[in-house]
Structure 1
Amino acid sequence: MLNESRLKVQLDMAYKTSVICWKPFIFQNQDTPESFERMKRLGLKHELPVWLLSDKGPYHRSQEFTEFVERYQQGFTTKYKIYREFGRWKVNSLVLERRDNNGFPLPLDPEFMQSIRLLGRRPSIEMITDNIIRKYGTHFLLSSTLGGEESLTIFVDKRKLSRRVDGGDSNSTGFTLETLHQLAASYFIDRESTLRKLHHLQIASTAIKVTETRTGPLGCSNYDNLDSVSSVLVQSPENKIYLQGLQVILPDYLKSRFVEAALSYIGCNSEGEFVCRDNDCWCECSAKFPRCNCPEVDVRAMEDNLVTIREAWIQANQEFEDSEEFQLFVRRLPTFYALNSSAIQYFWKMDPGVHQRYRQLEISTGLLLSKAHRIVNKLFTLSKRCHTQPKIIVPRERSFRYWLNYILSIMYCSENNHIGTYMEEMRSCSCPYEHPTCQGVIPCTVGEGLYCASCSHDNRTRCASCNPGYMLSQGMCRHEVPDSTDHYIGFETDLQDLEMKYLLQKRDSRISVHAIFISNDMRLNNWFDPSWRKRMLLTLKSNKYKSNHVHMLLGISLQICLTKNSTLEPLLSVYINPFGGSHSESWIMPIDQNSYPDWERTKLDIPLDCYNWTLTLGNKWKTFFETVHFYLRSRIKTTSAHGNSTVYLEPLELMDPSQNLGYMKINSMQVFGYSMHFDPEAIQDLILQLDYPYTQGSQDSALLQLVEIRDRVNRLSPPGPQPLDLFSCLLRHRLKLSTTEVVRILAALQVFSAKQPNSLEYETTKLCS
């Protein structure tokens, strides 16, 4: 039993660097409650932080892992392995059985026992490491299988393989992954031929590396070949290796100290003491190894991986840009007008080829970026206690909008063999400083409104035609402005607002308009009984006597006198007839409503009780007038029953109409304003162009001028929910057009206005029938 136990320990020592000391499994196989309790007392976790075990421990020094890391850093990111095992001897350790069987002494090697005794009762971590761990390892073998293993491993650089196949290299042997799969599958059938073919492919290409491994007896026909000298431990899902920490066979006073030493050996490479505190673990480095907490080898490897990922990312984007689908898409884009990112996106969606190729790019670059982010996160963890910050280079993700703008840059900013950046809002290029200009010809923009309707064939940067409502001027589209309408009808006077206000206050004769006073109920400068309703008219018969003028009303002034002690209060209603016609085609002034002016009364310095009544419209509320109708009513001003307010009553409500309340007289009535030029024959000729246009341009010009006249006339309406249709009154009474002709003209103007940019629905209130 002693020899058998010695065999188990020797096996443990022989294979501890290859299969025994696994990085994440140092304590996971310690399945005894006592070991867990000891770990809790020491403040340790069951799983160690990855950064502590990144480049430390026997696993990282094993031949298989070292070879894999070396190949990976060379670019071989894919490994194919085919193997078979021959295992017939089951090896079991009797150590734990003897320990648990009635306290018999453990059948251990005398040298091992002597090493334990030499440690003493309180050995240091260095003593345990030098006398136990370095000689015998950290674990011993519980059970496993002895036999032989034969394997073929192929490392593949898929990037080089895909470039050789896609590029059509003349020197390429034309092999693919499928070829490698077939060769690997035939390895155990025809080993010599398979190795010869793989050797030839490895010489002809740098895309693969082949390794063959044959250990132990490779057959089971003769059991004599399966001896303990040549056999090896085999490990597979069918043949597992079970390990146990050495602390379970050590004396109790050494167990906790051995765990600390093992952690320091595995986690800190014996360069410091392993410490865990506040959910964090690290190495307290010794003076000889101040940088033991920084896995520099792994940090450099990850930095190199980030560089490799960035190169692969650049290559993937370049391959997409050079792909036939992308190049064909760019060549098919229209060049006779300027495109924007929305137009590129529309054509992109209509092209299934480039859309599918871009999806492939998204998947490949997404995988690369995800891998880079994982490496960056791990790199931050690894360099947590390093003295220098790691070099992190991560490519910036290129969104779909980046490619839209890049296509625009190719189209418009790629002169002189240099590609700049197209700035869509400014329609210009940003070129590198050290190179000549990269901006090419940027065509005109076709669209609605101010944009071109089409571009010129001779010069694509200039417009050939414009949209309705715009005119072509020096290759650009501008708002179409109507010609001056002053020779058709006048609207403005030379007087400024302040000048006009001063003249109205002074009732200057220069802005006084001569009008005819007409009334059947009263006469000027005569006293009359105002108890009944009186009607007075001030009229200008310009449509009969002055057909080449229209008149603008700026203000009204009346001088009204009352008898002494009269309680009557005049009440005036004013109607305006703009261009003639019947009285029903007049509108009433909304005096003192919606910010409209109110009457201003000024007492005269004379013996009689006389007042000047003035209504000032000014430029803000001026309007056309042909006739002004005054309706005079009277009301009685008296004090309320409470004596604190004034009440107005109708005369008939107070007393018998035979009783007189006083008399009233109007000394003068005056209208202020000015007359303007009006040419009805010229407007008639303008209307004729709607039916008999010489050219399309002249018809549009006539319509534009009529719309301008209509809007300016109706703009002089009184305040209200909708403007009054004064333009129809002008056509009806000053141009003497029929109702049918007026309706036809208004409909033509409405259709033309709807075609103009920023047009609004034009609604008015009818005034003239």
Structure 2
Amino acid sequence: MGVVGPGNGTIQEWLTRVQSLLYCNENGFWGTFLESQRSCVCHGGTSLCQRPIPCIIGGNNSCAMCSLANISLCGSCNKGYKLYRGRCEPQNVDSERSEQFISFETDLDFQDLELKYLLQKMDSRLYVHTTFISNEIRLDTFFDPRWRKRMSLTLKSNKNRMDFIHMVIGISMRICQMRNSSLDPMFFVYVNPFSGSHSEGWNMPFGEYGYPRWEKIRLQNSQCYNWTLLLGNRWKTFFETVHIYLRSRTRLPSLLRNETGQGPVDLSDPSKRQFYIKISDVQVYGYSLRFNADLLRSAVQQVNQSYTQGGQFYSSSSVMLLLLDIRDRINRLAPPVAPGKPQLDLFSCMLKHRLKLTNSEIIRVNHALDLYNTEILKQSDQMTAKLC
């Protein structure tokens, strides 16, 4: 069998054929790879032919290595650049100083494949010891979930763990249902990043904007299921309290549609037993970051003082650069939003709940940082939406 060489076409044509074969041959569909757009044009008017296209490896802001979990995203970056949700961006010169205030870098920054393996093994290094609170659910006890149930996992760091802020990278629950159950549990999760009221939390957008969904695995020889949500490095975020709301979809007989689901559980009644479930375990996975509130408060007060006195911030440029870096690194861990919508402002939540700043102080600090960023650094500000 002979091999036809490039003599029958240009090098670029042969490269396009090879790339099309590698990246545009999925789900039984074919397409043509466009190098300029790094995407496939699928034949037949479909968009299902494209496979994951590897990241670009090279110098500067290109990837040093592609992610093992998703080859289309960066897994590590070149010196002077930091990894942010699958891409490499310039490392601020003050990032090392930022570590004295908040220990963003940690030994628990695993690759996503490692994180998934550790979560499956329920590795104790990733346990975050939270307090379970619910007036409507008791763990390991059957209940009727046909009406909304609420439970919370909280840390109460403002009282007990002042020197830490906390990161969530996953959630797991073990849910047991009665045999032949027609229930389909649905979970809605709200996150308070740094404490505060329920309105100062945000809703996890499962399956939207690249956000993950719950994974459900049935345990062997059991009516129980492990529900796991893996946020990983891309969607890890700060949390103080996680609120979990349970609703259930079910095909109810007409006689039971008006029942409230709030009555006593009767496991001996076959007509009702099929609607009962129990949650035997619920766990937040993540880790804690050292947080020097006094040092950070001192830096914020310097900015606040120079702003209220109407003075120049140029003399405190190192403090401004430091706080800009901290603000940027905190807000980068905000949840995804719809295209064109501003990102949530987690930095102001941290100032309010962990440094106990007033609203007017928070406004002054952010305004001073914005002015320095635009007038001195000549950089555009990223719009944010108020959360706290």
The TM-score with structure 1 as length reference comes to 0.35
- Kindly provide the CA deviation profile for residues 682-737 of structure 1, in whole angstroms up to 9, marking residues without a partner as x: 01111222255699655111111111111110000111122110001000000001
Quick one: which amino acid aligns to residue 184 of structure 2? E
Secondary structure of 1:538's counterpart equals: strand
Match of 2:322 in 1: 705
**Structure-2 change in CA distance of 1:652 and 1:596 (3 Å):** farther
Deviation per residue, 1:219-261 (Å, 9 max, x gap): xxxxxxxxxxxxxxxxxxxxxxxxxxxxxxxxxxxxxxxxxxx
Corresponding residue to 1:533 among 137, 148, 154: 148
- TM-aligned CA distance change 1:653 to 1:589, over 3 Å: farther
Q: Aligned ranges for residues 276-425 of structure 1 at < 5 Å?
A: none
The answer (yes or no) to whether the contact 2:190–2:201 under 8 Å persists in 1 is: yes
Q: Note the alpha carbon deviations across 1:430-467, whole angstroms, 9 max, x for none.
A: xxxxxxxxxxxxxxxxxxxxxxxxxxxxxxxxxxxxxx
Partner of 1:675: 288
Query: Could you tell me which residue of structure 2 aligns to residue 232 of structure 1?
Result: none
1:619 aligns with 2:233: yes
What's the offset of the Cα at 1:492? 2.8
1:656 Cα deviation (Å)?
Answer: 4.1
Whether the 8 Å contact between 1:491 and 1:676 is mirrored in structure 2 is: yes
Residue 702 of structure 1: SS of its match in structure 2?
helix
The one-letter code sitting in structure 2 at the alignment partner of 1:616 is: L
CA distance in 2, matches of 1:767, 1:692: 25
Q: 1:509 to 1:759 in 2, by over 3 A?
A: same
2:259 aligned partner = 657
Alpha-carbon shift at residue 762 of structure 1 (Å): 2.2
Deviation of the 1:653 alpha carbon = 9.5
Q: Equivalences for 1:231-270 in 2 at 5 Å?
A: none
Letter in 2 for 1:672: Y
CA distance in 1, matches of 2:352, 2:275: 45
- Asked if 1 retains the 8 angstrom alpha-carbon contact of 2:170 and 2:232, the reply is yes
Q: CA deviation at 1:655?
A: 3.2
Matched, 1:591 2:206: yes
The secondary structure found in structure 1 opposite 2:249 is strand
C-alpha separation in 1, matches of 2:238 and 2:330: 8
Identify which of 496, 500, 503 aligns with 2:118: 503
> Are the structure 2 counterparts of residues 691 and 635 from structure 1 closer, same or farther at C-alpha, using a change threshold of 3 Å?
closer
* 3-state secondary structure, aligned to 1:716: coil
Where structure 1 has 5 or more consecutive residues not aligned to the other structure, the ranges are: 1-478, 638-649
Whether the 8 Å contact between 2:303 and 2:313 is mirrored in structure 1 is no
- Alignment of structure 1 residues 356-755 onto 2, 5 Å: 481-482=93-94, 484-494=97-107, 495-497=109-111, 498-607=113-222, 609-636=223-250, 655-657=257-259, 660=272, 661-691=274-304, 698-720=315-337, 721-755=341-375
Moved over 4 A (4+): 650-654, 691-698
- 1:610–1:744 Cα change, 3 Å: same
Aligned counterparts of 2:305 and 2:342: Cα–Cα separation in 1: 33
Give the secondary-structure state (helix, strand or coil) at the position aligned to 1:550.
strand
Instruction: Using the TM superposition, give the Cα deviation of residue 493 of structure 1 relative to its aligned residue in structure 2, in angstroms.
Output: 2.1
- AA in 2 matched with 1:717: A
Deviation at residue 545 of structure 1 after TM alignment: 0.5
Q: Return 598-607 or 491-500, whichever deviates more.
A: 491-500
Inter-CA distance 629–691: structure 2 relative to 1 (3 Å threshold): closer
Question: Residue 689 of structure 1 contacts residue 698 of structure 1 at CA under 8 Å; is this kept in 2?
Answer: no
- For 2:123, the aligned partner's letter is D
* Contact 1:517-1:539 at 8 Å conserved across structures: yes
| Conserved? CA contact 1:489–1:676, under 8 Å | yes
- Please report how far the alpha carbon of residue 496 of structure 1 lies from its aligned counterpart in structure 2 after TM superposition: 2.7
Any idea what the Cα deviations from partners look like across 1:93-147, whole Å, max 9, x if unmatched?
A: xxxxxxxxxxxxxxxxxxxxxxxxxxxxxxxxxxxxxxxxxxxxxxxxxxxxxxx
The structure in which a higher percent of residues are helix is 1
SS of 1:630's equivalent in the other structure is strand
Higher Rg: 1
* Superimposed CA distance per residue, residues 484-520 of structure 1 (whole angstroms, 9 cap, x where no aligned partner): 2001112232233143332123221111111110000
Counterpart amino acid of residue 561 in structure 1? C
Seq. identity, %: 49
Q: Which amino acid aligns with 1:537?
A: S
Distance 1:656-1:625 versus aligned 2 partners, 3 A rule = same
Equivalences for 1:178-257 in 2 at 5 Å?
A: none
Contact 2:173 2:226 in 1 (8 A): yes
- Higher share in strand: 2
Q: Are the counterparts in 2 of residues 531 and 651 from structure 1 also a CA contact under 8 Å?
A: no
The answer to whether the Cα contact below 8 Å between 1:553 and 1:673 also exists between their aligned partners in 2 is yes
What secondary structure sits across from 1:747 in the alignment? helix
**Taking CA–CA contacts closer than 8 Å with sequence separation of 6 or more, which of the two structures ends up with the larger relative contact order?**
2
How many residue pairs match? The answer is: 277
Q: Which amino acid aligns with 1:767?
A: L
- Asked if structure 2 preserves the Cα contact closer than 8 Å seen for 1:559 and 1:666, the reply is yes
- Equivalent position of 1:404 in the other structure: none
**Paired letter, 1:742:** I
Structure 2 vs 1, CA of residues 514 and 542 (structure 1 numbering), >3 Å: closer, same or farther? Answer: same
What is the CA–CA distance in structure 2 between the aligned matches of 1:701 and 1:756, rounded to whole Å? Answer: 12
- CA contact 2:304–2:361 (8 Å) conserved in 1: no
CA distance in 1, matches of 2:281, 2:317: 49
- Counterparts of 1:66-81 in structure 2 under 5 Å? none
1:634–1:741: structure 2 CA closer, same or farther, 3 Å change rule? same
Work out the CA distance in 1 between the residues paired with 2:254 and 2:205: 26
Work out the CA distance in 2 between the residues paired with 1:506 and 1:551.
21
Q: Does the 8 Å CA contact 1:635/1:651 hold for their aligned counterparts?
A: no
* DSSP 3-state at the match of 1:484: helix
Q: Deviations over 1:549-596 (max 9, x none)?
A: 000000000000111111011110000000001111010000111111
* Secondary structure, aligned partner of 1:755: helix
Give, in whole Å, the separation in 2 of the partners of 1:572 and 1:688.
41
Q: Secondary structure at the match of 1:513?
A: coil
